[in-house]
Amino acid sequence: MRKLLAYIYLLLFGVTTLALGQGLPMAVPEAVGVSAERLERIRPVMQDYVDKGHLPGFLTVVARRGKIVHFETIGMRDVENNKPVEPDTIFRIYSMSKPITSVAVMMLYEEGHFQLGTPVSRFIPEFKDMKVYNEDQTEILDAKREITIKHLLMHTAGLTYGWGNKPVDERYKEAKIFEPNTTLADMVKKLGNIPLVHEPGERWTYGVSVDVLGYLVEVVSGMSFEKFLQTRLFGPLGMVDTGFSVPPAKVDRYAALYRHNREEGRKQRVKDAPLANDEVSFFPSGGGGLVSTAADYMRFSQMLLNGGELDGVRILGKKTVELMRYPHHDNWFGLGFAVVTDKEPPNILESVGNFSWGGAAATTFWIDPEEELIGLLLTQLLNNPHPFQQQFKVLTYQTLTELGLTHH
C-alpha cells in the first residue's frame, strides 16, 4: 500500500512539476517525515469554503527539507469565466511584497551602503525635519528623532496607510499617495509634507514604510526599483512570473479578484479587476504592488529558509537572514516579518522561530526553521472573515511524523 501511495504521489507530482517549471523539487512525503495520509485532510476543509461560495479558489503548497510534499489547486481563478486555479496562476500578493522589498534593502545593507541606524534623510532629503502629530492629533510639533532605515523595516517610523478617519488619514487621502502613473519619488515628496502619527521608534504602526524603502533601493542602487528586483533578486532566483504588472502574454493566467460581502456573507467580484482598476498594479509599491505565483514565492521562501541561498545562488548572508527573523520589536516583529517567540508563544500548531506574513487578498506564507517547513496559501479574497489560514497551518503541522533535520 505504501509503495502504491508513493507511486501515485510521484505520478501526480510529475504532472505538477511540468506546470511549475522553475519550482522546488518534489518528494514522496514520507521521505521527509510527512504523512501522505494526513496530508489528505487538507483538501476537504479547503473545498468546503469553495463549495459554500465563500471563496473562488485556493492554491496550497507545503514543502519540507527543500522538497514539495503537497501542491493542490481547488476551485476557480475566475468564477464567471469558468477558469480553474492552475499551478501557474498569477495572484496579487499585496503585502507579501514587503518581505521581498526588505530582502532588497538588506542586500544593499550587506554591501556597506548604510547602517540600519542611518537616518533615511541621508538618502531621501524629504524626510529631514519631519513634523509629528501629538497624541490626539490636535497639534503638529517638530519630530525629536530622525526616521532610520531600521524604523522603516520595522514599521515604527510613524508612517501610516491613511485608512482611518483622523486628521492624518485625511492628509493621506488628499495626497493620493499611490496615484497611478506617478513615481516613487513623487510618493516621498507627498509623504515628506504629512506629519508622522508618532515619534519614530515609539511604537508599531502598519503603513507605507516599505514603499519608502522601495525608493531607498532606487536612490542607493542607481536603478529603478523594478529593475533592481528583476536583475538582483527575481532573475537570479528563477522567479519568472513576479513583478509589478502582468504582461499581455500572461494575462490569461491572472486570477480575478473578489471581496467578501458582509451583508450576503458571500464573495463578490471586484469589478473588472484584471489590471485597470487594481490601483497598485502599475505603481511599484514595495509594500503591496507585486503579483507572483506559487512556484516563485516558494523559491523566495526556500532561499530564506536556507539562510539566504538557493540552488547555488546566494542572495543574502546567513547572519543577515538571522537578523531579519530576530524579533526586534515587542518580541513579535523582525525586519519584514512577524516572528513567533518564547515571550509570545504559539496558540496554534507552529514553532518558536516561525516567521511569516500575509497579503490583503487573504494570501499567507510561513517559514519554520526548526521543522524546515514552508507553507503557502494563495487565493484572492479581500475583507476575508474566514479562519482558513489558521486551519491550513494546523492541517499542515498535524502531518509531521519526524523531527526536523535540526534535531537529527
How does pLDDT run across 253-305, given as a tens digit for each residue? 999 999 999 888 888 999 755 444 443 356 899 999 999 999 999 999 999 99
Residue with cell 497611478: 180
Spatial separation of the C-alpha atoms in residues 317 and 254, rounded to whole Å: 34
Q: Where are the beta strands (DSSP E) in 246-382?
A: 258-261, 266-269, 291-292, 309-310, 313-314, 338-339, 355-358, 364-368, 373-378, 381-382
* Each residue's pLDDT tens digit, 16-38: 544 455 689 999 999 999 999 99
Q: Which domain holds residue 75?
A: 2-86+293-407
Predicted confidence (pLDDT) per residue in 148-190, tens digit: 999 999 999 999 999 999 999 999 999 999 888 899 999 999 9
The verdict on 173 and 104 lying in the same domain is: yes
Query: Which of 190, 225, 260 is where one domain is finished?
Result: 225
> Domain for residue 268, yes or no?
no
What's the rounded Cα separation, in Å, for the pair 193 and 125?
12
- Residue 78: in which H helix or E strand, if any? strand 67-78
Nearest-angstrom CA–CA distance, 90 and 135: 42
Say yes or no: 138 and 190 in one domain: yes
- Determine the angle formed by the axes of helices 209-221 and 97-110, rounding to 10 degrees: 40
Q: Are residues 107 and 206 in the same domain?
A: yes
Q: How far is residue 61's CA from residue 80's CA, in Å, rounded to a whole number?
A: 25
| Best CA proximity match to 270, nearest among 377, 380, 358 | 380
State how many domains the chain has: 2
Cα–Cα distance, 114 to 167 (Å, whole number)? 34
Please name the helix (run of DSSP H) or strand (run of DSSP E) that holds residue 295, with its range, or none. helix 294-305
pLDDT of 281 reads 53
Whole-prediction pTM value?
0.93
Q: Are strands 291-292 and 140-142 parallel, antiparallel or unpaired?
A: unpaired
Strand partners, 230: none
Query: Contact at 8 Å (CB) between 82 and 76?
Result: yes
In a domain, 341, yes or no: yes
CATH number, domain with residue 352: 3.40.710.10
What is the pLDDT, as a whole number, of residue 180?
A: 80
Are both 209 and 117 inside the same structural domain?
yes
- Are residues 75 and 129 part of one domain? no
Owner of C-alpha cell 522546488: 24
- Where the chain has pLDDT below 50, the residues are 15, 17-19, 274-280, 407-408
Same domain, 105 and 39: no
Q: Residue 11 has what DSSP assignment?
A: H
Residues 306 and 385 in one domain: yes
Give me the pLDDT at residue 316, please: 98
Nearest to 337 by CA among 94, 97, 66, 65: 97
- Asked if residue 281 belongs to a domain, the reply is no
Q: What is the pLDDT of residue 12?
A: 55
Nearest to 150 by CA among 120, 113, 129, 128: 120
Q: Are residues 106 and 181 in the same domain?
A: yes
Q: Do residues 36 and 10 both lie within one domain?
A: yes
